[in-house]
Structure 1
């Protein structure tokens, strides 16, 4: 049954507003209680507050009545958008992608030649983020700040650009630049460039045989795993697609490290879907298979899998398993020399990054008091990339928020913006910002911060 999107607010803003009002009630209303009043499951309310679905108009009115939210706060806009039929459970980004596709169709003829030049340039290194920063890239690169990275990636996965085979060296260099985009939290640029890289990787591996084909499959697996990382950052369900393609390419490569990283990405997608135990079991089983591979690359991936597994186990309350997996990962990090030099994984099992995962675990377990001690012993300077430092500040913000320390929560959010401005626009971080807007404490600069860091329309 179709309903109409009758709101100008994004799904993330709606979800954050609902969460803020629910938490502000005295006594506080839980997600389970709100779900019971609505006749939905608690997981449905969780997805709603995370901005992963758009409720029907009738449901919006019921929520507004239950939480004493004036309906105009959820629906009023100076310039109401045209009503577009969407399904109640359909991802709002899907609708955004359709609109972007329609707009793109009108521009394809005009921009096709420039796009072809940009694709060649990205893969040969003549155009890329570094060059764009220095020389001033074409308008298409400098005007991306308003593009949703998930929309760009989704369009690229399902409507890939045409590409010719490239050399393995070119693919490796392009993959390296894409990883650098991720490490620096340049997600808009990464979302625009990844479809080009993925299409080139697929075309290349289809053209090769033997050992070269295996190497191309390993590069493709790494590229699709990186696409999964970006999709998870944006709370996009296309993480499933990216993880599935990464696994297929990794199996074809016959290499354990790409297979382990692709499996880790699949487990993260499973975790975000609420399948916590299955995700943890998958990680534990695959990490045990990697235990017999002594290479630093395989052990780096195994350590990253254990870190993800520990955080996943915390989501279903298994404290012992969660902390034990992080301890094992830290042990691997101490034993394997130069483990941090392996760039295919996002998180390395250094002492600082293992502590970062312990902080995430305490947040997931609802034990923020224990997280405070972790925050005090971690130095952000021990984290090698802007993306990892922003992750640390995000976890700190969640800890302070759970403790009701709104001033420190706001300070952590500002630290995220300082380290990686695009991180602060992520849906989960936006939810924290919106919650602060409804907290009982007045904080100078908060409204300006919220306006400045809101996702571009």
Structure 2
């Protein structure tokens, strides 16, 4: 597959959305992944440098919440990276496997946005190819996605054990392995909260904060999420809400500077967690205000099934909130 084919697929759709202003009207489509993970399109091997640029472009599409653009171009990228890994040897094969693992990480995260079962397939392939690379950073990054699929299927305790075991294998004293270890601990904390295990959720948060305090200026460019104080605070909000103690998140929200999160997808996720917190506290107006901020950051985020369900729950709550019905119709939560 030629470089311009993949990059074009990742960028042309975004230009069209910008020109028409219809981003909020677009559903998130991952049909291509569901169909093609088991039968990727034909593609020729590509130079490692080209694959690295294509994977970076795919990740930018994800972090900018351009999910439809990403879905259209990702199968071709996966096919090209897989062909390269299969036909390479030595260091080139190691690098190709690391790139392929990161492409599958992105595929799994994209599928998870719509609770698609394709997330399982992509997550397994991400970890398998990451381990084949023999590189600790891609392995650590890939570990998150099968753990997330475990949690979503209700296997929270298994997810926590997997994440904490893999985190323990990463050196916390060096910048990049320490940063990846931190992200695994944060994910473990949220997974434990989803299983109603308060002790197992707060302990990883504490360890993550200790690593961040020792190295507060972690390197930018981690492939998954950044290991920062702001990110840790965001996870704490989600943990407390999930544990049924959303009031403990209110003070955290008051001190949270969401602008420090570097991507639209992460900022939208922050506002999503804040919306859930206020909804759990029974404050529909504040929850709706947070949902509108999600839409401002990333229009396709509010069309995710989980966000539409939250919008519907707010709409049919006893509190009547001005503008909520129009928002629900616009985002596809209810029919027009």
Within a 5 Å distance, the mapping from 1:29-178 to structure 2 comes to 120-123=3-6, 125=7, 127=8, 129-130=10-11, 146=26, 148-178=28-58
Q: How many residues align?
A: 332
Q: Is the 8 A contact 2:107 2:119 kept in 1?
A: yes
Structure-2 separation of matches of 1:453 and 1:318: 34
Matched, 1:442 2:320: yes
Within a 5 Å distance, the mapping from 1:320-339 to structure 2 comes to 320-336=199-215, 338-339=217-218
- The 3 A distance-change label for structure 1 pair 171 and 455 is farther
Structure-1 separation of matches of 2:108 and 2:227: 21
Cα offsets for 1:156-181 (capped at 9, x unmatched): 21231111100000100001111111
* 1:380 pairs with one of 229, 238, 258: 258
- The 3 A distance-change label for structure 1 pair 147 and 402 is closer
**Which residue in 2 is equivalent to 1:396?**
274
Cα offsets for 1:184-240 (capped at 9, x unmatched): 111111111111111111011111001110010000011101111111111111111
- The 3 A distance-change label for structure 1 pair 143 and 456 is farther
Cα offsets for 1:272-329 (capped at 9, x unmatched): 010010110000111111137x543322211110000011111222223312212222
Structure-2 separation of matches of 1:419 and 1:365: 27
**Which residue in 2 is equivalent to 1:454?**
332
Q: Is the 8 A contact 1:279 1:312 kept in 2?
A: yes
Q: Is the 8 A contact 1:147 1:456 kept in 2?
A: no
Larger of the two Rg values belongs to structure = 1
Q: What RMSD in Å do the two structures reach over aligned CA positions? A: 2.4
Any unmatched runs of 5+ in structure 1? 1-115
TM-score, with normalisation over the residues of structure 2? 0.92
Matched, 1:215 2:89: no
Q: Secondary structure at the match of 1:378?
A: coil
Structure-2 separation of matches of 1:426 and 1:269: 16
Any unmatched runs of 5+ in structure 2? none
- The 3 A distance-change label for structure 1 pair 314 and 144 is closer
**Which residue in 2 is equivalent to 1:367?**
245
Q: Is the 8 A contact 2:171 2:178 kept in 1?
A: yes
Tell which deviates more after alignment, 148-157 or 159-168.
Answer: 148-157
- The 3 A distance-change label for structure 1 pair 343 and 291 is closer
Structure-2 separation of matches of 1:273 and 1:387: 23
Q: Secondary structure at the match of 1:158?
A: coil
Matched, 1:299 2:182: no
Structure-2 separation of matches of 1:257 and 1:379: 28
**Which residue in 2 is equivalent to 1:34?**
none
* 2:115 pairs with one of 235, 238, 254: 235
Q: Is the 8 A contact 1:283 1:305 kept in 2?
A: yes
| Structure 1 position 129, deviation (Å) | 4.3
Cα offsets for 1:40-61 (capped at 9, x unmatched): xxxxxxxxxxxxxxxxxxxxxx
TM-score, with normalisation over the residues of structure 1? 0.68
* 2:80 pairs with one of 200, 204, 209: 200
Q: Is the 8 A contact 1:297 1:342 kept in 2?
A: no
* 2:303 pairs with one of 402, 411, 425: 425
Structure-2 separation of matches of 1:153 and 1:262: 18
